[in-house]
Amino acid sequence: MIGKQFLWLGLLMMIVGGLTALMVRWQLAWPGTAVPGTGWIPEPYMFEGHMGPEFYNSLFTMHATIMVLFVVMPILVGCFGNFLIPLMIGTRDMAFPTLNMLSFWVGLASGIVMIAGFFVPGGHAAAGWTSYAPLTAAAHYTGVDWGQHLWCMSLILLGISSLMGSINYITTVINMRAQGMTFFRLPLVIWSLFITAILLLLALPVLTSALALLLFDRMAGTSFFLPAGGGEPLLWQHLFWFFGHPEVYIMILPAMGITSEI
């Protein structure tokens, strides 16, 4: 059941991410031309169907964030992990069913918070999916206030959700294999999901901590990433890419494992 819920969450977010991509591509193909069906979107996002530069940046940021973190990960890791791990190691359920359920609902809350950024004053986050500091460390750089706050809060929630799922996957594979199912008899798809869970467990706390520091800069007056207060903008890049580099393998390993079974 949890696997189905992750699948539907990923497909729903894929529709949202696809619509943002469609609007971005329309703007690139026919710049200055009104986007059909967008007359209801108020100013300053759209001007009688014409897209402003700030809204374009928001769409670009939203599309990349959603497709990477809210489509690929819920479907490949959340859906297939919950469906295939118990089935292929010979157990009836995951090690921690309640934690599994919490992982989905926190992930759903994360998606809702992300989409809510479109409906707050100032609009959605507009600094790209990497959200480099100092662009994101102070509202006056991009003109976005609560939209960037919600972006950070959403990814913190998503990090918590993924951490719960990772702990569940690792514990299930280690402790709940059927009798005779040694590690070297595990299918490749289970190995891929197991290693993906380990990568998430190592990388996500760093990203979550970086997002918390970014929120402190924006809301509590600190200067972790602001040069004017003695902070270091490059610190964000180091912390973000500590997660960003493993994220490549987090997305491709489950796909490779599934391909090995076909």
CA gap 220, 212 in Å, rounded? 11
Tens digit of pLDDT for each residue in 224-262?
A: 888 888 888 888 899 999 998 988 999 899 999 999 888
Q: Calculate the average pLDDT of the chain.
A: 88
Q: Tokens 């514990």 — which residue?
A: 171
Domain CATH code at residue 184:
1.20.210.10
Query: What is the number of other CB atoms lying within 10 angstroms of the CB of residue 35?
Result: 16
Could you tell me the pLDDT band of residue 143, with boundaries at 50, 70 and 90?
low
Q: Residue 101: its pLDDT value, please?
A: 93
**pLDDT tens digits along 78-92:** 999 999 999 888 888
- Asked whether residue 144 is assigned to any structural domain, the reply reads yes
Please check whether residue 132 lies inside any domain of the structure.
Answer: yes
How many other C-beta atoms can be found within 10 angstroms of the C-beta atom of residue 203? 22
Give CA–CA dist 233/223, Å, rounded: 10
Instruction: Give residue 144's domain range.
Output: 72-261
Residue 207 · residue 161 · CB < 8 Å? no
Of 112, 108, 113, nearest to 165 by C-alpha is: 108
Is 139 a member of any domain? yes
CA distance 182 to 30: 58
- Quote the DSSP letter at residue 47: E
In a domain, 85, yes or no: yes
Tell me, what's the pLDDT at 222? 84
Among 26-30, 39-43, 88-92, 168-172, the minimum mean pLDDT is found in 39-43
Q: Is residue 193 a contact partner of residue 186, using CB atoms and an 8 Å limit?
A: no
d(CA 114, CA 77): 20
User: Number of folded domains in the chain?
Assistant: 1
User: What is the model's pLDDT at position 51?
Assistant: 79
Give 188's pLDDT tier (boundaries 50, 70, 90). very high
Indicate whether 5 belongs to any domain: no
Whole-angstrom Cα distance, residue 198 to residue 203? 9
132 falls in which pLDDT band (50, 70, 90)? confident
Least confident of 52-56, 147-151, 158-162: 52-56
Whether the predicted model's global pTM rises above the 0.75 cut: yes
Collapsed DSSP state (helix, strand, coil) of residue 145: coil
What is the per-residue pLDDT for 37?
75
Residue 208 lies in a domain: yes
Determine, yes or no, domain membership for 45: no
Give residue 30's pLDDT band: very low, low, confident or very high (50, 70, 90): confident
